[in-house]
Amino acid sequence: MSIPLEDPPLPLDFLEERLEALLEAALSSRRTCSGPVHQLARCCRADQEQILAWVEMLARTNPELAFQFAQHAPDATQWLDMTGMRQWLGVAFDRYDQEGLHAALRVVKDPQSFAQQRAPEPGSLFLATIVHCLEKVLTGLGGRPLKIEIGEQIYTDTETLFLPSRLARFPDLRQNERLYRCVAAGLWAQTRYGTFFPELSQRLSAFPDPERAGALYYTLENHRLAALLRRRFPGLGRDIGALTRTPPWPASWQEASRALEEASATPETSWRWLEWGHAASEWPETPWHQGVLMMQRVDCAMQQRLQKQRHLFRRMVGKMLDKHPARITMPGLSDPSLLTFEPKPDGLTFDFNLDGQPLTPPESLEHLVRDIVQDLGQIPPEYLEAAGPGGYDLDADSSNTELEVWQGVYHEEGAFLYDEWDCHRQDYRKGWCVLRELPVTPSDEPFVQETLTRYAGLVRHIRRSFEMLRGGEQRLKKQDRGDEVDWDALVEALVEARSGGEMSNRLFQRIERQQRDVATLILVDMSGSTKGWVNDAIRASVVLLSTALEVLQDRYAIYGFSGMTRKRCEFMRIKPFTDAYSVDVERRIANIRPMEYTRMGVFIRHAIHLLETVEARIRLLIILSDGKPEDYDGYRGEYSLEDTRKALIEARQRDIHPFCITIDQEAQAYLPRLYGPSRFVVLPSVDLLPLKISEIYRKITT
Amino acid sequence: MSVKIVEPEHHFIEEEPYYHATGDEVSLFTAAYRNRLPILLKGPTGCGKSRFVDYMAWRLRRPLITVACHEDMTATDLVGRFLIVGGNTVWEDGPLARAVRCGGLCYLDEIVEARKDTTVVIHPLADDRRILPMEKLGQLLLAPPEFSLIISYNPGYQSVMKDLKQSTRQRFVALEFDYPPEAVEIDIVRHESGVDPETARALVTFARLTRNLKGSGLEEGASTRLLVHAGKLIQSGIMPPSACTAAIAQVLTDDPEMLTAVQALSATLF
Ligand SMILES: Nc1ncnc2c1ncn2[C@@H]1O[C@H](COP(=O)(O)OP(=O)(O)OP(=O)(O)O)[C@@H](O)[C@H]1O
Ligand SMILES: [Mg+2]
């Protein structure tokens, strides 16, 4: 048995160059090929080459058709195999010839319906249909987070499980779904119970034929894991038994089989039997559903991960120790032996102790320790050695963006991952955007004072008119319960009683605070399109609106947003809900500056997250913008509008009311679709923004 | 059917409640009680806080007065108020005042649900003064040594509004509760529902799988309480998968995808 190795995917810049050349006629300054390039980059090498060949063929027929095909073909591989792809392309060509470009585009833009109409075998189940559910099941099973992707072969590189794009082994959908679970659980068990350890490939290379030895080790390991799964997850074991077939082992391997099925068996057991039997003439076989060993992929993923984990571990421990007050008073605490981990019974969680005292580590560190132990079986002592007099964090080179994104997995330093709605796939891209909250640096420009002076009349008017809206205290009389006796009511009641009537029991009064109970988050567009006087008007509006909000005593927060591509979405903190209005806030408002692009969806999602932490009867999200959601990496047009719309729907589902105030005259065309007919205002000119904004707010909240 | 009515002052727990200690909480509570320190219990829902208080009330032989706090609760509701009876004003003690008078344990469950201005009435009672001012009566109640104040709260809430104020929390001795260790949880489920050890073990494993999903689509994993519920259904003849769906999966989530995932997890075990 030999281990097939796939070629590595084509590099990004190669794809870009190639597509640019092929699609030149369909591109413009407003439309680059970065969308298709990124899509294509996710495919395997064989698919990439085939798709490029097809794009070339189409480009000769019609550039637009070729562009759209390049955009959608990578996704289509989820639902169609190569034969299916060829048929899909054929239908598109037919339509083009008979009905023209538009009909052809309809086919090209919707590979999923084509796949469905193609009526695959009965019971056939696409991975795409159940992938989210399957990911949750894996999370539930525990251990390091795993991704799922489509692969030509069933295998794992220890970070991603590669599964067939569809299963049709059984005529019943439900059985195929259970089969997917069995296959995924098998791969999960390999990552969870120690099949892959760092020295594995090195140890295999001592055999005359390392590949064959690897294959045998893999077979033995899977046998051990199958028994382990049967013991720990009887339901799963039953399913595996019913849905898959494992060929019986040769008679000479029976003793090995029994030994591997023992509860005490470990990867070392498999190793011993590998040494025992690698020269035998007969070997047991790995059944289809257990997949294949891709040693190079495993090595590659594992080496990278170990390096990052080690780096991150030292950093986080260093930080934790820095924060720990004991550090200052007790010299010698940089002695690593004082930080100890005591494994809990499950083997993957730990009690942390610092100098004998129990310590609660941040959750992100706990997860990291879990992941390291899953790979190495322990925290190696050298991980705990202080890297020098400066402590654990020797490596000051933190500009490595890849590392930063990776840290997002551990939620270090406020990185948030948000889904994005992909209207082409009609599905969310999970954890697609990486968002960070950053403070706005305060500016010394006296912008707020100047604004308050310039609009002094308006400010007076706002103070007066909003004062009246403010909720006050109200004395409720004639209540059946209350803090004080309502003497008037009592006298009245006594008179009534004396004259033979029934005495009322509504004799109390109480003070009730009538709270407005509104919480508002103001989201200010800081994208590059809001330059110069537009920026001034926006800043002035923020000043005037905060004046009104201060008078009203509504709870409010102000944030700006900007970003560049999905990996760098920046949420700029001007005033969080928990901060009072202050000179610092004023100085930050003064520094609201145009920055980069508007990737709207992710910012709305984060605003939702923040608003959800505030308890209020009414929660408002006010978006001050020029309205056009647009980002650099293909986030524009239909895609960006649909994602924004979806994010706004999510807000409403959570009882948050979004409202948009904009100065973009073209906004009339798309805002109703995003905000509904009445939840936005388009101002005819920028100068009106500061004048109107408080009034608009009053209307929305009364 | 007959309903037994007891005045809170006489609510002595006579039979030993089943409580399986998971650490040194019993001795900590006892020490705090002897030193007249109020006690704060933190922990996720359904992990045994209320059961623990029942148990301690029994152990210390004091009456237990429990108040479930809610948003509309005012200080008056806790302390007491005037009522009009037959044309005369009569004072009626609230549960807190009653507990102080009879030297009982007063358990304010889910204290963060109460409004902040309500919470502050417990301040003088919770520090070393141990007095309950009754403003309306113009009196001060001095708590006897037997009285103890216990509050509970779940720090897992996302909302900033549901954080306990520092000035409140810094008056208490805090005991942290979490889901019990595996072996203990198995014992609890067996004892409370009567299922066999195998089933109890499977239920507890299942709960652990759902707890891995906390933060990845589930707000909370299955609590010990839900396991007891599922166990009871199984004891009444319901098949384990249906019992897990009804008592656990459906209770945890409404999201269809999540529901399928949680059911798939129970199917790996049953
Ligand atoms: N340590 C324990 N010993 C005995 N029973 C327990 C224990 N922990 C949990 N239980 C069981 O779990 C159930 C729920 O516990 P309890 O009502 O005390 O939860 P709680 O922490 O007060 O939850 P909540 O915060 O929702 O009020 C109990 O009825 C009991 O059956
Ligand atoms: Mg309780």
| Distance from chain centroid for Cα A234 | 33
Hey, which of B42, B53, B59, B188 would you mutate to test ligand 1's pocket, going by the most ligand atoms within 8 Å of its Cβ? B188
Give the residue among A20, A405, A37, A346 at the shortest CA–CA distance from A193: A346
Q: Which of the two residues, A337 and A504, has the higher pLDDT score?
A: A504
Mean pLDDT of A605-629: 84
Taking a C-beta distance cutoff of 8 angstroms, is the pair A448, A590 a contact?
A: yes
Return the pLDDT at A528: 54
Instruction: Write out pLDDT tens, residues A161-207.
Output: 999 988 888 988 899 999 999 999 999 999 999 999 999 999 999 99
Task: Please tell me the distance in Å from B5's CA to the nearest CA on chain A.
Answer: 25
Return the pLDDT at B93: 92
User: How many CA atoms does the CB half-sphere of A260 hold within 13 Å?
Assistant: 26
Which residues of chain B carry a pLDDT beneath 70? Answer: 1, 87, 156-163
Residues lining ligand 1, Cβ inside 6 A: B 18-20, 22, 43, 45-51, 109, 154, 180, 188, 192, 224-225, 228
Query: Which ipTM did the prediction report?
Result: 0.86
The one-character DSSP state at A4 is: -
What integer best gives the mean pLDDT of chain A?
82
User: How many CA atoms does the CB half-sphere of B83 hold within 13 Å?
Assistant: 8
Phi, psi torsion values for B141, nearest 5 degrees: -100, 125
Which of A379-388, A442-451, A521-530 has maximum average pLDDT? Answer: A442-451
Residue A519 to residue A516: CA distance in whole angstroms: 9
Residue A584 to residue A441: CA distance in whole angstroms: 9
Return the pLDDT at A596: 62
The H-or-E segment that residue A34 falls in is: helix A34-41
The pLDDT-based confidence of A467 (bands split at 50, 70, 90) is confident
Instruction: Write out pLDDT tens, residues A45-83.
Output: 888 988 998 898 888 878 899 999 999 998 888 888 887
Using only C-alpha atoms, chain B has a radius of gyration, in whole angstroms, of 21
| CA B22 to ligand 1 centroid distance, Å | 12
How far from A684 is each of A539, A623, A625, A666, A688, CA to CA, in Å? 18, 17, 14, 11, 8
Instruction: Write out pLDDT tens, residues A341-400.
Output: 777 776 777 777 776 677 777 777 888 888 888 888 888 877 776 544 444 444 444 434
Choose the mutation target among A131, A139, A486 for the interface with B, i.e. most B CBs under 10 Å. Answer: A139
Which residue segments constitute the domains of chain A, with CATH numbers given? 12-118 (no CATH), 126-293 (no CATH), 297-384 (no CATH), 447-468+517-701 (3.40.50.410), 473-513 (no CATH)
Strands (E), A408-496: 415-422, 427-439, 473-479, 484-485
The ligand 1 atom at the shortest distance from the C-alpha of residue B43 is: 21
Task: Parse chain B into domains and list their residue ranges.
Answer: 3-176, 182-267
Mean pLDDT of A116-141: 83
- Inter-chain CB proximity A139 and B267 less than 8 Å: no
In three-state secondary structure terms, B178 is: coil
Residue A241 to residue A238: CA distance in whole angstroms: 5
User: How many CA atoms does the CB half-sphere of A66 hold within 13 Å?
Assistant: 23
Return the pLDDT at A405: 47
Residue-wise DSSP of A155-197: EE-SSEEEE-SEE-SSSSHHHHHHHHHHHHHHHHHHHHTTS--
Is residue A133 less than 8 Å (CB to CB) from chain B? yes
Point out the least confidently predicted range of A323-332, A510-519, A654-663, B135-144. A323-332
- Describe the crossing of helices A583-590 and A532-552 by its angle, rounded to 10 degrees: 160
Phi, psi torsion values for B108, nearest 5 degrees: -95, 105
- Inter-chain CB proximity A232 and B158 less than 8 Å: no
Using only C-alpha atoms, chain A has a radius of gyration, in whole angstroms, of 32
CATH number at B3-176: 3.40.50.300
Interacting residues of B41 by C-beta distance below 8 A, sequence separation 6+:
B49, B52, B53, B150, B151, B152, B153, B174, B175, B177
Residue-wise DSSP of B58-87: HHHT--EEEEE--TT--HHHHHEEEEEETT
Q: Which of the two residues, A31 and A534, has the higher pLDDT score?
A: A31
Ligand closest in space to the Cα of B25: 1
> How many degrees, rounded to 5, is the angle at CA A117 between CA A116 and CA A118?
90
Return the pLDDT at A392: 43
| CA B48 to ligand 1 centroid distance, Å | 3
Return the pLDDT at B81: 82
| CA A526 to ligand 2 centroid distance, Å | 47
Taking a C-beta distance cutoff of 8 angstroms, is the pair A182, A170 a contact?
A: no
Choose the mutation target among B186, B265, B270 for the interface with A, i.e. most A CBs under 10 Å. Answer: B265
| Distance from chain centroid for Cα A347 | 28
Mean pLDDT of A499-504: 74
Q: Which of the two residues, A565 and B32, has the higher pLDDT score?
A: B32
Whether residue A103 is predicted with pLDDT greater than 50 in this model: the reply is yes
Using CB atoms, pick whichever of A139, A235, A484 lies closest to residue B213: A139
In three-state secondary structure terms, B167 is: helix
